[in-house]
Structure 1
Amino acid sequence: MEKKTNVTLVTIAVFVATFMTAIEGTIVTTAMPTIVGSLHGIEIMNWVFSIYLLTNAMLTPIYGKLADKIGRRPIFILGTFLFIVGSALCGLSNTMLTLIISRGIQGMGAGAMMPVALTIIADLYTMEKRAKVLGLNSTAWGIASVVGPLAGGMIVDTIGWHWIFFINVPIGLILIGMIWYFLVEPKHQVEAKKMDIGGSFSLMMVLLTLLLAFQLLSDNGFSLLVLGLLALTVISFGLFLWAEKRAEDPVISLSLFHSPLFVVVNLVAALISGFLMGIDVYIPMWMQGVLGLNAGIGGLVLAPLSLLWMVGSFLASRWMSQYSIRKTLLLGLVITLIGAVWQFLIPMGSSWLWFFGISSIIGIGLGATTVTCTVSAQSSVPQEMLGVATSFNTLVRTIGQTIMVSVFGILLNTISANGLQQAKLTSDPDIMNKLVNPQTAKLLSADLLEPLRKILYDSLHGVFGAGLLLVVIAVVLTLLVKEKSGRIVE
């Protein structure tokens, strides 16, 4: 009797893998003050997060190609193994530099786990059921956002920060066992075509220089190094296109971009992911800096976004069975747009309770939009390109988040600096940092507090305006897709 895939257990394994990669960010953020106190090196602390993002993004499209070429199971197992090795080395780190290197290895593994997990879901479920399963899978991010800080704090306070990394090892080994035993794939005929080495390396250079440029731009503003990296990005991209046109088996086939639907849903995914970063980073800043509330409230008002994301995903699955992809995507984007407009127009003195409503609406809209983008990207390509299409969709979200975090930061700092210069309130260059920290804000004089809060409100208003513009552009792009053919209107 031929052995078949155990769909239930493989789906559970995919959910656990998603949760494991999702919680990594929130749990490490919580533990970072303790880690810095133990290992020192606060000046390079940001690289603990940045290197994970860089190695993750650089290898995501390569893993997608390999998943199509040799199968999902070996690539998922390879990624999980690298994630385990990186986690173990993180736990054993005794300097900040070794921790950063170990996080790079961990990111290399995570770059395979997430996109290949989504590809496995696409293999196991029909398009009608896939959206529901992706909706359930996305709840891992919501649970991680709530559980991560609590678990991180508890682990650090009891058995030590090393165990936030060590705990990944047994879970990862169980995942490898489950995928190895319960996922049965048809035998892949490994084609004799040469691997696209030139395209792979030039693509990795594009991603490395682009993400590194925006990371440095966010930290230090424009500099010769940033401009040099952006120039290298353009050159590397030209080399990538040249390599792909000549490759026998390109790492990302340029034929993918002949489908206008594929292009649009990925652009929308990038824009919406960038918008999400504005919500996650700057609503808590509003709670603390503008309203003077504690950090816990900032996390609390974002909870509906995570929880109602699943509701939006389920709605999208229903809409996709009734309407076209274009109409489903528009419905999700319009709901998101309502939340974005409300957020942009909310007055300075509004109660923090209103943000529950904003967060809820945006959560439903983003849940519906994100799942529709993933399913659309997968359904708009042939089965043999499913891994590449899924990994590319994951990649553009990372790029959208990275670029917009930098843009939002520059926008906030520029508006704040102009506001402080015009008001001439203080010469303290660190005054806005003191304002957004509830502990230090209490020490500011009353005659400074209100004007500073108005400056911060104006700055956040600018950030939310930029976020609103991203959603509007996404709506316009979607309107350019014809209802039946999926072609862009000429």
Structure 2
Amino acid sequence: MLTTGLIAIDATILATAVPSVVADLGEFDQFPWLFSVYLLAQTVSVPIYSKLADTFGRKPIVLIGVGLFLVGSILCAFAWSMTALIVFRVIQGLGAGAAAPMTMTIVGDLYTVAERAKVQGYIASVWAISSVVGPALGGVFAQFASWHWIFIVNIPLCLIAGWALVRFYHERVERRRHRIDYPGAALLTIGLTALMLGLLEGGNAWAWGSLQSIGCFAVGALALAGFVMVERRAAEPVLDLAIFRRRLIASTTLVSLGVGALLTGVTSFVPSYLETSIGVVPLLSGLAVAALTLGWPLSASLSGRLFLRIGFRSTAVIGSTIALVGAVALVVVTPFPSPWLVAGVAFVMGFGLGWVAAPTLIAAQASVEWNERGVVTGTNAFARSAGSALGVAAFGSIANNVIAANGGEPTPDSIIPASAAVFIATAVIAVLMLAAAAWMPRDRVQSPAAAAQPAPDAA
């Protein structure tokens, strides 16, 4: 929870201080890269860290993540230009790419199936608290101190988290010689970097049909094609593509893609919809979105009782249905902008997603042994990040086209139809996520006694 808190707070604390950063460092046109490069570095590094964790153990990888995050935070705190700050955010992102999925993997190692839902609820509660604390801290630092404190505050948190991991987390790893798949790692990194860069910056830094955009997607496609060829022959592949032949892994990965896209659709567009349509202050629009992160940990902590009785698949289908109801309700209330209506709908969506995200992750983890659990967990985390990136690109394109057709300026007359169009797209994503959950194989419901047995490979 300490390690997760580092990543969760950083995900929200910077946004409220962007005006202060720009006022000090200048180069307003470059500030979106503060978020893009962080997400890019975090996302593309997850599969590699996950494989290394299955090879050398979780502890060294999560400590590397905390260490990189600490170094990146120190450098960001003393950045002298926007370019330097962007570069140092890459280091932070590489740290987050190791730390975030490893916490979920460690939960899968240490706790029984019956216990994991409750513990995943604890982890989700960290995100919920951070969604409120992060923006508040960022605003306080920006208004009463300096934006540098946004990164300085990470230093003691990193030290405490690192100390706790060294002191209290112990694991046994079978020591043997490994053959590192360097060509596969390089091709995967190049391919994912190019594709993610194209998705994140297409329509923003450059036009979708520009040479830069076409080049990103072409390089990404070629590198990933080469990656597939290399992995078929590698002795110890970075990502064993055979795992996607398993219906459970393939279906839960698709569900995670949907979860990431839905989160982006709500958290990215609800604030601008409320602020532009009826002039809601940013704090109130942020609290409306925070209702989603309050419903999530509540249902995630309760999901264990449900999936032990009816199974992972049925629980995920119920959660997807609830999330779909919330997505449709968001479309219905869009012509009548109200922060209270939106908050209620967001809470319903969050409650549904909690019954989707936790059971599908636990189902995937429970289906493999220790030596594959890191890759499976990392794949789940990567899919959610990739879903967010796809959502940013797709929903942003939809909104821009609708706004352009209604005068070209974000006014109440244009933002409401644009938001309605985006929310219709999120409802479509919710339908596809429900289909993916229904595609999960039927699982035999474990008895409480069997589910409470520790995994044989737990340290």
Q: Which category describes the TM-score, using the shorter chain as reference length?
A: over 0.9
For residue 118 of structure 1, the aligned residue among 104, 128, 133 is 104
Contact 1:68 1:384 in 2 (8 A): yes
- Alpha-carbon separation, structure 2, partners of 1:311 and 1:474: 21
Instruction: State how 1:276-355 maps to structure 2 within 5 Å.
Output: 276-346=263-333, 348-355=335-342
Aligned to 1:21: 7
SS in 2 for 1:73: helix
Cα offsets for 1:416-458 (capped at 9, x unmatched):
21222xxxxxxxx5x32xx3xxxxxxxxxxxxxxxxx233211
Is 2:66 the partner of 1:107? no
Aligned to 1:201: 186
Cα offsets for 1:153-211 (capped at 9, x unmatched):
22233332112112212221222121112111114313x23101111111111210111
Q: Match of 2:161, as an amino acid?
A: L
Cα offsets for 1:317-339 (capped at 9, x unmatched):
11111112110110110110110
Instruction: State how 1:177-192 maps to structure 2 within 5 Å.
Output: 177-190=163-176, 192=177
Aligned to 1:465: 424
- Alpha-carbon separation, structure 1, partners of 2:424 and 2:107: 36
Shift in CA distance, 126/184, structure 1 to aligned 2, threshold 3 Å: same
Is 2:137 the partner of 1:151? yes
Structure 1, gaps ≥5 residues long:
1-14, 421-428, 436-452
Shift of residue 249, structure 1, vs aligned partner: 0.3
- Alpha-carbon separation, structure 1, partners of 2:339 and 2:27: 36
Structure 2, gaps ≥5 residues long:
446-459
Contact 2:257 2:384 in 1 (8 A): yes
Contact 2:117 2:359 in 1 (8 A): yes
Shift of residue 268, structure 1, vs aligned partner: 0.8
- Alpha-carbon separation, structure 1, partners of 2:437 and 2:346: 23
For residue 120 of structure 2, the aligned residue among 117, 134, 137 is 134
Contact 2:311 2:444 in 1 (8 A): no
In percent, how many aligned pairs have the same letter?
Answer: 33
Cα offsets for 1:26-66 (capped at 9, x unmatched):
11111111111111111111111111111111211111111
Shift of residue 350, structure 1, vs aligned partner: 5.0
- Alpha-carbon separation, structure 1, partners of 2:270 and 2:143: 28
Instruction: State how 1:24-103 maps to structure 2 within 5 Å.
Output: 24-103=10-89
For residue 386 of structure 2, the aligned residue among 394, 399, 405 is 399
Q: Match of 1:483, as an amino acid?
A: R
Contact 1:193 1:248 in 2 (8 A): no
- Alpha-carbon separation, structure 2, partners of 1:349 and 1:109: 42
Shift in CA distance, 338/111, structure 1 to aligned 2, threshold 3 Å: same
Aligned to 2:161: 175
- Alpha-carbon separation, structure 1, partners of 2:443 and 2:128: 34
Q: Match of 2:357, as an amino acid?
A: T
Contact 2:49 2:61 in 1 (8 A): yes
Contact 1:336 1:364 in 2 (8 A): yes
Aligned to 1:212: 197
Is 2:426 the partner of 1:480? no
Contact 1:288 1:298 in 2 (8 A): yes
- Alpha-carbon separation, structure 2, partners of 1:102 and 1:299: 27
Aligned to 2:457: none
- Alpha-carbon separation, structure 1, partners of 2:95 and 2:113: 28
- Alpha-carbon separation, structure 2, partners of 1:311 and 1:224: 46
Larger radius of gyration: 1
Contact 1:278 1:464 in 2 (8 A): yes
Contact 2:406 2:413 in 1 (8 A): no
- Alpha-carbon separation, structure 1, partners of 2:216 and 2:132: 37
SS in 2 for 1:212: helix
Shift in CA distance, 79/347, structure 1 to aligned 2, threshold 3 Å: closer
Shift of residue 344, structure 1, vs aligned partner: 1.4
Shift in CA distance, 198/275, structure 1 to aligned 2, threshold 3 Å: same
Q: Give the count of matched residue pairs.
A: 443
Aligned to 2:260: 273
Aligned to 1:5: none
Q: Match of 1:346, as an amino acid?
A: V
Shift of residue 485, structure 1, vs aligned partner: 8.1
Shift in CA distance, 110/351, structure 1 to aligned 2, threshold 3 Å: closer
Flag as ranges the 4+ runs of structure 1 deviating above 6 A: none
- Alpha-carbon separation, structure 2, partners of 1:485 and 1:30: 47
Normalised TM-score (structure 1)? 0.88
- Alpha-carbon separation, structure 2, partners of 1:86 and 1:46: 18
Normalised TM-score (structure 2)? 0.93
Comparing 116-125 with 379-388, which one deviates more in the overlay?
379-388
Shift of residue 347, structure 1, vs aligned partner: 5.2
Contact 2:334 2:416 in 1 (8 A): no
Contact 2:333 2:342 in 1 (8 A): no
